[in-house]
Structure 1
């Protein structure tokens, strides 16, 4: 017989069951809302337009047939654009790292010298991350002309936002014990950063750097669409003159290059990220 101050077991069970049902209903409502949003997006982009998709499937097979066999006759002329694309990705990543290092120290709450500097640095990272590299490439092409320079600058400036954000988060999540130990013996703020924080976050920074290089190599090919040079420009040029066999050959070259870059990145990451 339960006491007046002690609820019965069935009452506790019912309360737990009601809480579980309430959470389940909430999850169901959220799932239905998400599903509705996805279906609405499908309708907006005409992904459920069966007639249009059915018409496009034969056209796709026809295009693939026109792309076969790949035409590698201009491969010697592609070597310079391939090298340009690789150089653009490396230089763009280097620019991003060089700009991100001071910004991430200002954008991390535990290393920023002042709240105003913190918010300004965060705003800069948000702005550079929000503008796609393709838009930056178009603006820079208009500013400095066609070629590899605007593509490299677009990659570097856009990468600052993402690289700096990851760097700042890594600094904020660093262990504070070495920091407090360094400060207890009279280390200055620069000494604390160099000897107590950066050694902790260096593996994470190296990991982000190599991943960003892989991304920039792919993005540098897209920038060819706005005249920023590299192998992407060759692909766009071949598409414009309907040389689909050369397009398929270029895509195979790109696939091989991406595979090599990924392999090299993984190899270097094993040495730096330990």
Structure 2
């Protein structure tokens, strides 16, 4: 009994020590980022208010010229997500622990980690240098970064498959194809569809940001408006982007609902 109590006390001390260390790291990070220097916030609200006043009312006078950039942004997000999904599916299956060769799985996990560790903007800069300006480097940048993220998600989904239904079907003479069709796919497809749609929604916003590095789309129009101090036009573009992203979120939620209902 005393040994059990002593072990419980040591675990509690380790827990408290870990919590204190984590808290110290968080406080140090805030100090290092100068987030606790409250003097720097003194003029923040007046400055933001002045920028907001300069951007109202929104100027939609050039709305006719925004159709093509907006279509480029949507095309980048769709193409980047499709390419990433096709690439991430086999990579995720190989990377899943316990589902394949250990060395190959470790190598693919390292590759996926490397791909997603490079920010999408950096991928955009690299592909702009490689293939020039326009939506093409944008969709390639989205595809690379999304492959790393979706590959990780797919691998984790496969790792959490319940093996018992497959074992039961196999014990009754079911083939590997039958196990995959009737026990594995019903478990993973709804979650894979869910994370893929979420990634598409993310890529719509990310495609806007890639306009900063010359990857085209509505983001380039927004950056140009800011550079020219056309804050009213910039506000109009922000409202358009907000509307498109909100619409994409609604479409994604509807698709997820439809897919889950039919699964």
Please report the TM-score for the alignment, with normalisation by the length of structure 2.
0.89
Query: Residue 91 of structure 1 corresponds to which residue in structure 2?
Result: 79
| Partner Cα distance (1:87, 1:248) in 2 | 23
Aligned pair 1:209/2:219, yes or no?
A: no
* Farther off after superposition, 225-234 or 119-128: 119-128
Aligned pair 1:102/2:90, yes or no?
A: yes
Query: Residue 116 of structure 1 corresponds to which residue in structure 2?
Result: 103
Q: Structure 1 residues 111 and 33 mapped into 2: Cα distance closer, same or farther (>3 Å)?
A: closer
Give the SS at the match of 2:239. Answer: helix
| Structure 1: runs of 5+ lacking an equivalent | 1-6
Query: Residue 58 of structure 1 corresponds to which residue in structure 2?
Result: 46
Structure 1 residue 119: deviation in Å? 1.5
Query: Residue 239 of structure 1 corresponds to which residue in structure 2?
Result: 226
Q: Structure 1 residues 180 and 71 mapped into 2: Cα distance closer, same or farther (>3 Å)?
A: same
The answer (yes or no) to whether the contact 1:110–1:171 under 8 Å persists in 2 is no
**What CA RMSD, in Å, does the superposition of the two structures yield over aligned residues?**
2.3
| Partner Cα distance (1:50, 1:259) in 2 | 34
| Partner Cα distance (2:181, 2:202) in 1 | 28
Please report the TM-score for the alignment, with normalisation by the length of structure 1.
0.86
Point out the structure with max Rg over C-alpha. Answer: 1
| Structure 2: runs of 5+ lacking an equivalent | none
Query: Residue 66 of structure 2 corresponds to which residue in structure 1?
Result: 78
Among 132, 156, 177, the residue aligned to 2:143: 156
Query: Residue 251 of structure 2 corresponds to which residue in structure 1?
Result: 264
| 1:194-244: CA deviation from partner (whole Å, max 9, x where unpaired) | 454223211111111111111111111111110111111111111111111
Structure 1 residue 101: deviation in Å? 1.0
